[in-house]
Amino acid sequence: MFDARCTRNSCRKACWQTFPQVETATLKKSPDAADVATHRPRATYHIRMNRPDSSGGCAARGRPRGFDAHTSLLQAIEVFRSQGYEATSLDDLTRELGINRSSFYTCFGSKHALLLAAIDAYCTRSLMRFDTILKSARKPARRIDALLEAIVEPDAGRSGCFLHNCIGELAPTDAEVDARAVRHVAAIRKRLRTTLNEAGVASPGRVADALLAAALGALSMRKAGASPRAIRTVLRTCTDTLLG
């Protein structure tokens, strides 16, 4: 077991601001070549995020004074989104985040731990955005259209959706990523089903499943280079067919 702690107050503060609800997180390290070759079990890390005290303190060595862990998560999301998890090296991450390896391990623990934290942040932000969208439109049908648009983001280019990319690359073999993906999709399905039920749609659960399938398919179209217009046409055809 490896116990990584944020020993300096400034780094502990940055980590706590990013993970305020987490006292202790159990994280799994991705196996390296030696692990695979010797069939060693995957190592487990216990990373404890402690609340910062108020005694002040200087910035950790090698880490800029303006370092913000939340901003670093957003930067990591873009790196993983554009390059994929396996293709992203630790050097890629430290360069983009503007920190050295020591500071990276102190604040995030491991590349895999950073990925999981990035997924959690991405899902939380996405659901908050979806809830805002669902509250902004009065008619249920309009809310569904707006929600599908927000999920797929047809104008966002071929880099793909961060979570959708993680599902395709990692979910079949990474139980922690898979659990997060399942939970997020279920949360979206619940919102769709509730809105469909408010609209008086028959079999709202089945229709929600169909709309989710359409959205995931549209995300694949986006990554394959389909035009925004073509993607929106597919979404509109699905909603017109399913909602009448």
Report pLDDT digits (tens) over 154-192: 999 998 899 999 999 999 999 999 999 999 999 999 999
Per-residue pLDDT, 139: 86
Q: Is the pLDDT of residue 215 over 90?
A: yes
1-5's contacts with Cβ under 8 Å and 24+ in sequence apart are 1/44, 1/45, 1/46, 2/43, 2/45, 2/46, 3/46, 3/47, 3/48, 4/45, 4/47, 4/48, 4/105, 4/106, 4/109, 5/47, 5/48, 5/50
User: 22-31, 177-186, 188-197: which has the minimum mean pLDDT?
Assistant: 22-31
pLDDT at residue 114 is higher than 60: yes
What confidence score (pLDDT) does residue 141 get?
A: 87
pLDDT of 198 over the 60 cut: yes
Proportion of the chain above pLDDT 90, given as a percent? 63
pLDDT band at 67 (very low <50, low <70, confident <90, very high): low
